[in-house]
Structures are given as structure tokens and as C-alpha cells.
Chains A and B, each alone.
Chain A
Amino acid sequence: MTVGLTRSEHGSYDLDELMIIEAARHIRNGDVVMVGTGLPMVATTLAMKTHAPELVAVIESGPIDPIIMQTPISVSDPRAMHEAARLGSLREVLGCVLQRGLVDIGFIGGAQIDQFGNINSTVIGDYRSPKVRLPGSGGANDIACHARRLLIIVSHEKRRFPLKCDYVTSPGYLNGPGARQRAGLKVLTPTITVVTNLVVMETDAETGLFCVTKLMPGVDLDAVYGNTGFRPGVASTLEEVAPPSDRDLETLREEVDPDGVYVKRGKSH
């Protein structure tokens, strides 16, 4: 779905920008955040520079609590390691921080996400004769296994939200309530939140299914249903995503992604 420009009292912004800003709002000041490459890094940097200066970023290649300079393209880049509290190893951060249970929120992107919050980043089609071979887990599986709160940021397209993933790379609620326990996972009822350019959805701990909690400005439920391969529930407290503040927009545009690497410009200013 092509998403147009939205005007607010703060001037114009587009929903790709608001998606990043809304995702950043899910990070609380002081959270230990295990952060992945791409948009998760952008939104985490924004949170760090606005409402959550005391967040502790942990990056899978080893950095603990770095200052993320102008957002780098990959997580394993000196630009994402500046003045870190520690530069350690992958085994240390994924073992001694993540598996150990010290991470508050894991933050990743996703290729395919199904109704139970399972993520596929391995293969489209049959595993043995793939239609599209995707790169694989990276650290996503580890983060999905161990984060008590899992935040996923992804552009909303129907093919990204099938009823059932072709392949479960990273576990959500697997095939339903109780399945994570049966599989032997440590975190049994994670809160999985997906932020897209249309919607915010969150898993229900009892059913393991997604519920729409917020809609982007100008987006209605039919637009969500029409672009989603399953029918999510709707929270009784359905809200509209708050528009961005001037500070959010300025920080995103001028400090976090000044070159428009992640948010394509030209439309709004």
C-alpha cells in the first residue's frame, strides 16, 4: 500500500517517519535494548536522543551501551560503537546478557510475520526447493527466544503478514498458547509488538494472537484487513497513533538520518 503524506499541526510528515517515531516510543528510558540492523537501529537512536537517554543499547557483535553516532548501515560498524561501556564478543552479549535474561526489549525487523508472531527470514516457499532463499536468522532467533518484550518494525505489505509463515526462523507463540513452553523456551509469554506504517499490533498473552492496538492517522481497519493475510483482533481501547512532535521530527531528520538513508525524502520538505 502506498501511504500518502499526512498533514498535522506540526507540518507534514509521512507515515514511514511516524512508524519509526512510534516504534521509538515503545522503548522506555533505562531499558536494556538488544537492537538489530536497519530500522531498529534508527528508532533506537531516536529514542536515545529524545525520551530515553539512559537506554542501554546492546548489539549482537559485542558492543554494550555505545553512543550510536549518525546511524550506520550495519550494526558491526565503528559508527555504532563509539564510547561503548564495553566492546565484547557475540557469545558474551547473546549468552551473558540476552540468554541470561538481562534484556528488557529486543528490537528487530522481519521478512514475514504470521498471526502468532512467528518470524520467517529463511525461505519463501518450500525449504527444500525454495522460491526465494532469504538470508537466515542472524541474531533474530536468539532475540525472539529470549526477549520478554519483542518489538518488530516492518513496512506493511500483505505478503509480509501471512496467516502462517512458510518457515519459522524465530519463534513467536509458535502454533498457539502453551507452545513455547512445550518447545522448551525460557520466556513463555513475550509481549510481541509490531509497528508498521499502518498499524500497531500486539500479541495477547492468552491466545498468542495479534490484536490491533493503534491505527496510524488516516488509516482505518479495512486498510489493515486488506493488507494483512490474517484477521487480527481489535483492542477495546483502540487508539490513533499520536502525531510526531517537532522535536521527534527534527531529531529524526537532522540528527539520526540526515542523509535520508532510511527515510526517503523529497515528499515532505
Chain B
Amino acid sequence: MDKLCSLREAITEEIEDGMAVAMGCTLESLIPFAAGYEIIRQKKRDLTLIAPISDIQFDQLIGAGCVRRVIASWVGNVAAGLGHNFRRAAEEGVPYPLEIEEHSNFTVALGLKAAAMGVSFLPTKTVRGSDFSRAEHFRSVTCPFGGEELLAVRSIVPDVAILHVQKSDCEGNAHVWGNLGVAHEAAFAAKKVILSSEEIVTHEHILSDPNRTIIPGFLVCRVIHEPLGSHPSPAQGYARRDDDFYFDYHDLSRSRKGTLSWLEKWVFSVKDHAGYLALLGEERLKGLKPQGDLFSPRVSFNF
């Protein structure tokens, strides 16, 4: 089934106010920024955002007033430090108060993995002893075999996972390479998956290299062809990290007023991601393109 559509259509039809949305699941690369901007543009509200670290994406969505709760281990600006909008929401309730489910990176992965395997929790030895180990999404459990004390991590079930990938066919069978973060866990944990993809390739192309298929299409409800849809985060083979973009955001977002002008310029004043890329300009985009190729060898799947 062909699931190709525009980003606007996907966000309009699949994201409802109040939903739990996993996005940015490969840590600081392949973050679905284009999808985040569209969520902001459509003024979605009361979302729960899920991911270990999504660089400035969560800060942007919080500043735009889309978020009620985050399930995350780190919210800030990886290059520059603190997330000003995250701070304002947590410290002053601006623009809205924020609930924070505190995690470590590993416990986000375990919570998603539990959901992905259809169990209510997974045990670990991490986080024990820390101040957030007493939070309600963790429990101490005793190993039924040896008596060891473990930490149970409650499953995390996203209503939707939005993932940016390098290649997808029109059914959502997707090739992802580079570091994988928790993308696989998030795709299997979520009730539905939306993909934005650098390239749309043929079904045969994907099937010729199935070990690289991280997300099988039957999990996916929407596929969007969105080149540079992860800008300013890197997409291995397609785009480098736009470091300056993060520093500029950091400077402007220091004040509420600056945040609003940033959102006006980069999100509200353009109608879609093509408009955003035009605003970045050809010269800048050219500088982000990897020079030349580093191909992996082909392998034979013959039998």
C-alpha cells in the first residue's frame, strides 16, 4: 500500500492534542525537525514527548507551547548547554508548566523495549541509588531466581513514533544506518509510525538489503519524502550537522521574546519545509553536503 503523503497531511491526520509522541530517537542525528516544525505550525497542544536526547527539538516544541509532559533523560542544547525554553517551563511555567518523567538514557531504551516486546516492565541495575530512582515509573523488584534487587522500568508506549530515515519505499520499509539510538525500539513500541525520508526508493531496492531495514513497513502508517528533513541534525550520507544553527538558536532563545521571533522566522513565516530550506539558502545547504561518497561493499544474499 502506498503511504506517501505530505508532512502537513500526516501531522493533521495522525497527531491529536494530548498524544504521546516519540521523536528524535537516534539521539543527536536524524532528528525529525521538519515534522517538529509542522507540529508547531499546526499548534498541537498537550503532547507528551518521548526520547532519550533530542537535542534542541524538545526545547523548540516546549517553547512553542505544544508540550505538557516529557519522558526523557536530557533536554537542552547539546552544543551550547542548557535549554532555555525547557528552563522557563520547568522554573516558571512559561509558556506552560511542564511535567518531567526523569530517566537515564538506558531506562528510556528499556521502557520502549518493554513496550516493543509487549511486557509491562524490564529489569535493570542502572539508576539505583539516584534521587530519581524513587519516581513512580520505577519500582524495586526482587529477582525471583537469585534474590537480587533490581530496578523495574515501566513500559513506555508512544501513541506515535516519528522517525527520520535515509531511505524508505512507499510502504515504509526503511533503511537506516549510522548510530541507531532507540529508533528500532521506538518503532516497535509505538501504536503507529510516521516516517520522513531523505529518499524514496523502490520496494526492490529495500528488499535487496534486508539487514539494513530497521523499520519494516507494516508498522508504518505514513511516509513523507522530506530531503534534509533532519536539518540541523546530521543524516549520515546526506547532510552534516549545522553547528551554527544550534548556537544561533541558543542565543535567540535566551529570552521568551527571542524564542517567539525565532519561531516566527523559521516556522510560522514559511509554509512548509521547502520554504524553510529556501530560507537557509543554497550556499549554506551546499556547505552541509558530504563531499564525495564512502560506499559500503555490496553483499550477496543468494542461496
Partners in one complex: yes
Residues in A lying within 8 Å of B, measured CB to CB = 37, 59-63, 72-79, 81, 87-91, 94-95, 98-99, 122, 127, 129-142, 145-146, 167-171, 174, 179-180, 183-186
Docked pose: A184 CA to B74 CA in angstroms: 24
Query: Could you show 29 A-B contacts with beta carbons less than 8 Å apart?
Result: A59-B179, A61-B27, A62-B181, A74-B55, A74-B79, A75-B27, A76-B27, A78-B29, A78-B240, A90-B27, A90-B180, A94-B126, A95-B124, A129-B91, A130-B91, A131-B91, A133-B82, A136-B72, A136-B73, A136-B76, A137-B132, A140-B104, A141-B73, A145-B125, A145-B127, A167-B131, A168-B131, A171-B130, A184-B148
Distance to closest chain A CB from B49 (angstroms): 13
Give the CA-CA distance A132 to B184 in the complex, in Å: 34
**Cα A134 to Cα B26 with chains together (Å):** 22
The interface stretch among B39-47, B106-114, B262-270 is: B106-114
| Bound-complex Cα distance A134 to B81 (A) | 9
Chain A neighbourhood of B184, CB < 8 A: 89
**Which chain B residue lies CB-closest to A186?**
B125
Chain B residues with CB under 8 Å of A171's CB are: 128-130
Closest Cβ of chain B: how far from A187's Cβ, in Å? 9
| Cα–Cα distance between A16 and B90 once the two chains are bound (Å) | 33
In the complex, A64→B110 CA distance in Å? 20
In contact, A74 and B28 (Cβ under 8 angstroms)? yes
| With A138-B53, A169-B130: A87-B177 Cβ-Cβ less than 8 Å | yes
Q: Which of A94, A135, A146 contacts B83 (CB 8 A)?
A: A135
Binary contact readout B64-91 vs A (1 if CB under 8 angstroms, 0 otherwise): 0000000011111011011100110011
Bound state CA distance, A138 and B297, in angstroms?
35
Interface of A is mostly: loop
Is B90 in contact with A122, judged by CB distance below 8 angstroms? no
Question: In which size bucket is the chain B interface?
Answer: 35 or more
- Answer yes or no: B172 CB below 8 A from chain A CBs: no
Q: B185 at the A/B interface (Cβ < 8 Å)?
A: yes
Tell me the complex Cα distance, A91–B117, Å. Answer: 14
Option from B91, B132, B243 in Cβ contact (under 8 Å) with A133 = B91
How far is A79 from B178 in the complex, measured between Cα atoms in Å?
A: 11
Q: Which of B111-165 contact A (CB under 8 A)?
A: 113, 124-133, 140, 148-151
A62 touches B110 (CB 8 A): no
Select the residue from A87, A130, A136, A170 with max chain B CB neighbours within 10 A: A136
Do the beta carbons of B180 and A180 come within 8 Å of each other?
A: no
- Are B130 and A134 interface neighbours, CB within 8 A? no
Known: A78-B29, A146-B126. A94 touches B106 (CB 8 A): yes
Least CB separation from A127: chain B residue = B131
A216 to B74, CA, bound (A): 32
A91 touches B178 (CB 8 A): no
B269 to chain A, nearest CB (A): 28
Evaluate contact between B185 and A141: CB separation under 8 angstroms: no
Report whether B132 and A122 are in contact in the complex, using a CB–CB cutoff of 8 Å. yes
User: Within 8 Å CB of B179, what residues of A?
Assistant: 59, 61-63, 76, 81, 87-89
Question: A146 near B125 (CB under 8 angstroms)?
Answer: yes
Contact yes or no, B243 A137, CB < 8 A: no
Contact B28 A81 (CB under 8 A): no
Q: Which residues of B contact A79 (CB under 8 A)?
A: 241
- List the A residue with the shortest CB-CB distance to B88: A133
Q: Which of A122, A139, A183 contacts B105 (CB 8 A)?
A: A139
A122 touching B73 by the CB < 8 A rule?
Answer: no
Which A residues touch B38, using CB under 8 A?
Answer: none
Contact across chains for A91 and B113 when beta carbons are under 8 A apart: yes
Residue B6, interface by CB 8 Å: no
Given contacts A90-B180, A95-B110, A141-B73, 10 further A-B contacts (CB under 8 A): A59-B179, A73-B78, A77-B234, A89-B179, A95-B124, A122-B131, A132-B82, A132-B87, A133-B90, A145-B128
